[in-house]
Amino acid sequence: MMTPGAPVSILTIVGARPQFIKAAAVSRAIAARHDVTETIVHTGQHYDANMSDVFFDDLVIPRPGRHLGIGGGGHGAMTGRQLELLEGVLLETMPDWVLVYGDTNSTLAGALAAAKLHIPVAHVEAGLRSFNRRMPEEINRVVTDHVSTLLFAPTATARSHLLAESINPDAIRLVGDVMYDAALFYRDRARMPEGFSELGLAPGGFVLATIHRAENTDDPDRLAAIFRGLAGSGQDVVLPLHPRTRQALASLNIAIPDRIRVIPPVGYLEMVWLELNCGSIATDSGGVQKEAYFHGKPCVTMRDETEWVELVEAGWNTLVGADADAISAALSDPRCPPGRAELYGDGTAAEQVLDHLVASGNSQNRAPT
């Protein structure tokens, strides 16, 4: 049980670069108040050579207080090792809340380790569902939601998914999306990728494409169809080429058409610049679908399902799978729908998360371990 009047202590668990960007929105909000303290633990799930001092400085992200160095291996081995080491950290620190983000193995391990120690779990991005249990991320989302004490839903759709699974309505908070907070913060810090000006493309005159999901890169037919679709759109396409995709193209001997301009992978601030300056976006990334909407760009999603169904329903996102003709048609004349509903909150999700944690933290009772 927390000490009355003491700051609420939060232990934040992250394991991948996108989670750092989400967590940074909450960390910045924590820095502006005196009733919350935070320790950040990086499991090391995704080794990223770009997470250098420059990464943290440019993105104004606090460095983790702990780095567990757990990376590689299968899902079971990785999650089990994370569980083991996170349990030790939690027993040592005994925070008032464990805060987890999204749907990685680190999310699941953090939630399970805390729940077994009767430490309240708060899940940011709760309630997302693709309804595809073949995706490891879907399993991670569902289990994390069902062991969480507070569930921060980014959208009304996410809240409805949680209610449909009989989760207590009193545990759900509809706060908006912390990635919208991040988009607003980083928009003015965006920068052009090095060498982009040499492509000779005008602002708004190109499609920004990202392809990295295993369901596409590991399937020769899907990958070839995606590139045919991009090339058949009649648009200039800029593709920051993910290493996994590059390797798949080489192994399958798939040639990249001339109108697809390949550039090296870019950092987050460069990606924001590309999103702001493109005409439309074609992607298989979950996060980029939302970022397209945040920056007012029509999006074509090269997947068979999406967690962000509200974007499809609102007309901002067209789901095309790996159908070459559907990709070409959707990109040949992309349009933004009239109006723009506030689907992801008002940019204050981080502050709302903390308000709820502080208010709930004062009434949390923890069972003995």
The pLDDT of residue 316 is 96
Q: How far apart are CA 62 and CA 44, in angstroms?
A: 16
Residue 369 reports pLDDT greater than 50? no
Least confidently predicted of 72-76, 341-345, 359-363: 359-363
The pLDDT of residue 75 is 86
Contact 44/70 with Cβ under 8 angstroms? yes
Residue 103 reports pLDDT greater than 70? yes
Report, as an integer, the average pLDDT of 323-348.
Answer: 93
Residue 17 reports pLDDT greater than 90? no
Report, as an integer, the average pLDDT of 194-205.
Answer: 95
Residue 169 reports pLDDT greater than 80? yes
Residue 290 reports pLDDT greater than 50? yes
Contact 321/283 with Cβ under 8 angstroms? no
Residue 54 reports pLDDT greater than 80? no
Confidence bin at 242 (pLDDT 50/70/90): confident
Give 198's DSSP letter.
G
Residues with catalytic function: 212
Give the residue among 50, 106, 108, 45 at the shortest CA–CA distance from 72: 45
pLDDT in tens, 127-139: 999 898 888 899 9
Contact 104/77 with Cβ under 8 angstroms? no
Report, as an integer, the average pLDDT of 159-165.
Answer: 98
Which residues, 6+ apart, have CB-to-CB distance to 219 below 8 Å? Answer: 322
Measured between alpha carbons, how far apart are the two ends of the chain, in Å?
12
CA distances from 305 to 2, 162, 267, 297 (A): 42, 19, 26, 20
Residue 116 reports pLDDT greater than 60? yes
Residue 244 reports pLDDT greater than 50? yes
Residue 266 reports pLDDT greater than 70? yes
